[in-house]
Amino acid sequence: MSLPIIYHPDYVTPLPPKHRFPMGKFRLLYEILLADDIIQPQQVYQPELPPQQWLELVHTPEYVQAYCQGTIDAKAQRRIGLPWSEGLVHRTCIAVGGTILTAKLALQHGIACNTAGGTHHAFPHYGSGFCIFNDLAVAASVMLALGLVQKILIVDLDVHQGDGTAFIFQNDPRVFTFSMHCGENFPSRKQCSDLDIPLPQGLEDDGYLQILAKQLPDLLSEVKPDLVFYDAGVDPHVQDRLGKLALTDTGLYRRDRAVLSNCLAYGYPTACVIGGGYSDNIAQLAQRHSLLHRAAITVFQPQ
């Protein structure tokens, strides 16, 4: 049995040329994985749109309705940072469905990887930082509501703190949030995760990996989750234009292998999302995102 990969063509939504947000990376990532024989077509699952009530496990009905119907006000739209369109609504909801499917497949197979996801800046009643609906929070809430798990650990290694996720689960003992991020980066106002590790600007591979190695095994032993969500943002990369850390491709790959190997060793199913990454070179960016899937293939053991 092969590693499940979640992809849907509608992850890609055209945007006006003035917007630099790299939507094209999703399709290119999928094409790279196929071209490099990292995955085969039969490994790929296509998600469905989640029912609105699943979105409303996390987000207020007023916000869900306003965004989906296009009545969201200009200020709220500016806070998100993306122009509204029907296509973007569809892409956003499909991506949430993808993370839900990733979680379900992770429980079946041990590891599953989305080719999108990681919109951790979205709060219950508003979006922020290119994040509209919080796919990690929605997927975690769905898994709990369906009774498929009782304890969840979210490992967020995007360079930016997972502030929306931290806020959503701040009073929920069923979900433990762990964010390791650049301390002097967006958002300026941090929330309180269950465990926050702020990192200094310019931190390189060895220092980063030493900190992760010190934290992760003890955290897994302490939390004992039924399911891990792993946000493998590549914006800690030295060339990322929004990052402020200094990891190399090798460092990102070693990070992803370390997370997945530890989770597998403890027997904890892991649902992976690609998280953030920002570059004008979309080909390089998609290659960085592919490191997660390359690492997953090396540690994957069919259940």
Positive or negative, the CA dihedral 280, 100, 151, 134 is positive
Instruction: Give yes or no for residue 18 having a pLDDT over 50.
Output: no
Instruction: Give yes or no for residue 270 having a pLDDT over 90.
Output: yes
Q: Parse the chain into domains and list their residue ranges.
A: 21-299
**Prediction pTM value:** 0.96
21-299 in CATH: which number? 3.40.800.20
Q: In whole angstroms, how far apart are CA 211 and each of 215, 217, 270?
A: 6, 11, 21
Which of 122, 118, 141 lies closest to 133, judged by CA? 122
- List the structure tokens of 15: 């945007």
Question: C-alpha 57: how far from its chain's center?
Answer: 18
Positive or negative, the CA dihedral 85, 90, 95, 97 is positive
Q: What is the 3-state secondary structure (H, E, C) of 16-53?
A: CCCCCCCCCHHHHHHHHHHHCCCCCHHHEECCCCCCHH
Convert the pLDDT of each residue in 139-197 to its tens digit: 999 999 999 999 999 999 999 999 999 999 999 999 999 999 999 999 999 999 999 99
Convert the pLDDT of each residue in 188-227 to its tens digit: 999 999 999 999 999 999 999 999 999 999 999 999 999 9
Convert the pLDDT of each residue in 102-119 to its tens digit: 999 999 999 999 999 999
- List the structure tokens of 187: 């958002």
Provide the mean pLDDT of the chain. Answer: 95
Contacts of 206 (CB under 8 A, 6+ apart): none
pLDDT value for 124: 98
**Strand segments (E) across the chain:** 5-6, 44-45, 111-114, 152-156, 175-182, 195-199, 227-231, 270-273
- List the structure tokens of 294: 């390359």
Please, which pLDDT band fits residue 301 given cuts at 50, 70 and 90? confident
- 68 vs 86: CA distance, rounded Å: 8
Q: What is the DSSP letter of 247?
A: B
